[in-house]
Chain A
Amino acid sequence: MSRTGEGPEPSRDGDRDHTHVAFSALLEDSAEELYESAPCGYLSTLMDGTIAKINTTLLNWLGLDREDVVGRRRFVDLLTVGGKLYHETHFAPLLRMQGELRGIALEMRTARGARLAVLVSSTVKFGSEGDPLLIRTSVFDASDRRAYEEELLRRRKEAEQARAEAEAAHRQAEADRQRLADALAVLQRSLLPETLPRLPGVETAVHYHTASPDRLGGDFYDLFPLGDGRWAFFLGDVCGKGPEAASLTSLTRHTLRTSAHHDPAPVAALTTLNTVLHERYSASGDPRYCTVVYGVLEPGGEGRPTTVQLASGGHPPALVLRAGGGVDLLPTPGGLLVGVLPNAPVATTRTTLAPGDTLLLYTDGLTEARTGPTRASLYGEDALYAFLAAQAPATAQELVTALTGLLKGFGEGLDDDAALLALGVPDTPAHPLPVSDPPR
């Protein structure tokens, strides 16, 4: 109630009268009555803990009679055993050292054996010489507060337990992930040759990009000797991505390699592959397919040019960058996806490579890279042809280096696997060194 200004209004006067009456009643309350019936427990002890004075509130809480307590019991006698231990190891020493202690949680034992959770504060009263005389202690019933704290403690323990379990699970997951990554790395190495063999009179270069984070690509290539001086090579793209594509890639690669040794003719190799894939997948209701260019290269010499026979199943056409500049497309119209139909037509073509010519096989990850500010348009074949025309003539390595730079420039726009295989006849075929980019 505030007193403001002069000449208070009648209603305020009325309030003040009422307050006055209440205050009078309070002032008539004796100090003794306040002590005995306070809403908290009070007790005073000698320095050795002997209880000298205790209020009615605390006696009632504990169910004890004054005459059984005063002069007969010490403060620690009112505590549970755990409380006694805590009192002797923490409470009493601190109180001696500091002269006061506030809000310590202890448990008291009632006459009927029940526990009473309390918060205890004590101060030491010192004599004029600074000598400790007695200890005054107030006791608050903290049952609800303690229940709440125990709940918090319980929750904290649960949270710590959960965190420990989560950390263990995370460590396990990390170990599993590493194990899986190691296994995938082994598998991935089985999909591609680790290095390309040396071809006499031919320079080779490859680049391989996988879009999937597990490094299992759906593109593939290979180059291997047929044993009669000729070399077989292929490059392709299976449908899908990730582990399932990798499984298909593995089957495709090994089928082509095997059939090439049986009958190296390009049409025969792709026909065998079509039969195998169709039997394995489409016939069992799970159609999967690939596009592939397969070729046989016969190195030239003694006036004979290097010749290349190609067969394609639904794959983007191979190209040749000519020594004199310009780019030749090697279209194979009519070739269909390999593995879809029981008897797929295979289109063939052939070309010769003069010194300075370079043959390029690529997968459509290159031409279907998304470009433009919004990544809305595809890079496209026309752009690729224009890019290649600007490079020609180029050695296999120069060409792959330029295209690798192009791929890098697509950034996020390159969201599919991409494979490049270049075979070039050097101008001066003195050192037929294979140059290859290891699979990445």
Chain B
Amino acid sequence: MDIRRRNNVRITGAADGPVVLLAHGFGCDQNMWRLVEPALAERHRVVAFDYVGSGGSDLSAWDAERYSSLRGYARDVVEICEELDLRRAVFVGHSVSAMVGVLAAEAAPERIGAMAMVTPSPCYVDDDGYRGGFAREDIDELLDSLESNYLGWSSAMAPVIMGNPERPELGQELTNSFCATDPDIARVFARTTFLSDSRDDLARVNVPTLVMECSEDVIAPREVGAYVHAAIPGSRLVTLDATGHCPQLSAPEATARELLGFLRDLQ
């Protein structure tokens, strides 16, 4: 199995710089990082990829059972690290990917040396004494929205977009292609993302960790950011003056600045 092709792995930046691994969350693909990537690439070797099922990944490698658990996504991360023989890489995970990173670091501790979590949430659904921000019914509403919007995905076009990782321009020319996902796959990813509970995993994180939250984020509200910060021993919490769940797009300069600061302090 060609892991680079399977996960549409793209490597940019300084070839001998410290490695930064960029992991997208639920919704869109590695293009989410396009506005912060240039700043990181100046002095780092930047590895971006798509989880199997997303973006330009090989859809034939998708398996409903494997990707119904965050551990399945963590296996993607570990397999990419092994393929590229990454050691002590800095894992930058957006949203649910932050929790995927926790599982990957636990599975392959020699591969991941630090973590930057961008708007993470260990559990989106409210629980006894915990406020994730959503009720179970809200997640069902999201699943309905997924069914109502194909975002340019069509079964006829999918092979063209997905099967040509060596020709990414084919995909990028198509409207909405960054977030175009097979509806059945998106549904599985959405359920896995929003119905997982990774709270107990946080205490086992034993690498330097940066937690980045936004001042206004309906998906990961500030009390969730505070929860993650408190649960991970020695973590650093940064609150960006940004709105929404994707500061790497809405406030790319501030996001890159905080990431670079964290990377600098690691050395």
Residues of A within 8 A of B (CB): 47-49, 74, 76, 80-86, 88-90, 92-94, 96-98, 101-102, 104-107, 146, 149, 153
CA distance in complex: A377, B200 (Å): 87
- If A81-B141, A94-B176, A101-B176 touch, does A89 touch B32 (CB 8 Å cutoff)? no
Give B264 Cβ to nearest chain A Cβ, in Å: 27
Q: Residues of A contacting B250 with CB < 8 Å?
A: 47-48, 92, 96
- If A82-B140, A82-B144 touch, does A97 touch B219 (CB 8 Å cutoff)? no
In the complex, the answer to whether B178 meets A86 with C-beta atoms within 8 Å is no
B218 at the interface (CB under 8 A from A): yes
Q: Which 5 A-B pairs have the closest CB atoms?
A: A82-B141, A89-B27, A48-B243, A86-B145, A105-B148
- If A49-B243, A92-B245 touch, does A97 touch B178 (CB 8 Å cutoff)? yes
CA distance in complex: A97, B245 (Å): 14
CA distance in complex: A78, B145 (Å): 15
- Residues 84-140 (chain B) with a chain A CB within 8 angstroms: 95, 134-135, 138-140
CB-CB nearest in chain A for B151: A90
B249 at the interface (CB under 8 A from A): yes
In the complex, the answer to whether A149 meets B148 with C-beta atoms within 8 Å is yes
Q: Beyond A81-B134, A83-B141, A97-B28, list 10 extra A-B contacts (CB 8 Å).
A: A48-B244, A81-B141, A82-B138, A82-B139, A84-B219, A86-B149, A88-B217, A90-B179, A93-B27, A97-B249
Instruction: Point out which of B139, B142, B143, B145 has the most chain A C-beta atoms below 10 A from its C-beta.
Output: B145
In the complex, the answer to whether B245 meets A88 with C-beta atoms within 8 Å is yes
B175 at the interface (CB under 8 A from A): yes
In the complex, the answer to whether B142 meets A104 with C-beta atoms within 8 Å is no
Q: Residues of B contacting A96 with CB < 8 Å?
A: 246, 249-250
B216 at the interface (CB under 8 A from A): yes
Give A121 Cβ to nearest chain B Cβ, in Å: 12
B147 at the interface (CB under 8 A from A): yes
Cβ contacts A to B, 8 pairs, < 8 Å: A81-B138, A84-B219, A92-B250, A93-B28, A96-B249, A97-B249, A98-B176, A146-B148
Contact among A83, A86, A93, A101 for B246, CB-based, below 8 A: A93
- If A81-B134, A81-B138 touch, does A90 touch B218 (CB 8 Å cutoff)? no
Give B28 Cβ to nearest chain A Cβ, in Å: 5
- If A90-B179, A92-B250, A97-B31 touch, does A106 touch B244 (CB 8 Å cutoff)? no
Instruction: Point out which of A49, A90, A106 has the most chain B C-beta atoms below 10 A from its C-beta.
Output: A90
Q: Residues of A contacting B28 with CB < 8 Å?
A: 89-90, 93-94, 97
Give A96 Cβ to nearest chain B Cβ, in Å: 4
In the complex, the answer to whether A86 meets B218 with C-beta atoms within 8 Å is no
CA distance in complex: A74, B138 (Å): 19
CA distance in complex: A105, B142 (Å): 12
CA distance in complex: A227, B149 (Å): 85
Q: Residues of B contacting A146 with CB < 8 Å?
A: 148
CA distance in complex: A345, B245 (Å): 100
Q: Residues of B contacting A97 with CB < 8 Å?
A: 28, 31, 34, 178, 249
Give A238 Cβ to nearest chain B Cβ, in Å: 56
B146 at the interface (CB under 8 A from A): yes
Query: What 1/0 flags go to B193-211 for Cβ under 8 Å of A?
Result: 0100000000000000000
CA distance in complex: A75, B34 (Å): 25
- If A48-B243, A98-B175 touch, does A88 touch B219 (CB 8 Å cutoff)? yes
In the complex, the answer to whether B244 meets A85 with C-beta atoms within 8 Å is no
Give B103 Cβ to nearest chain A Cβ, in Å: 21
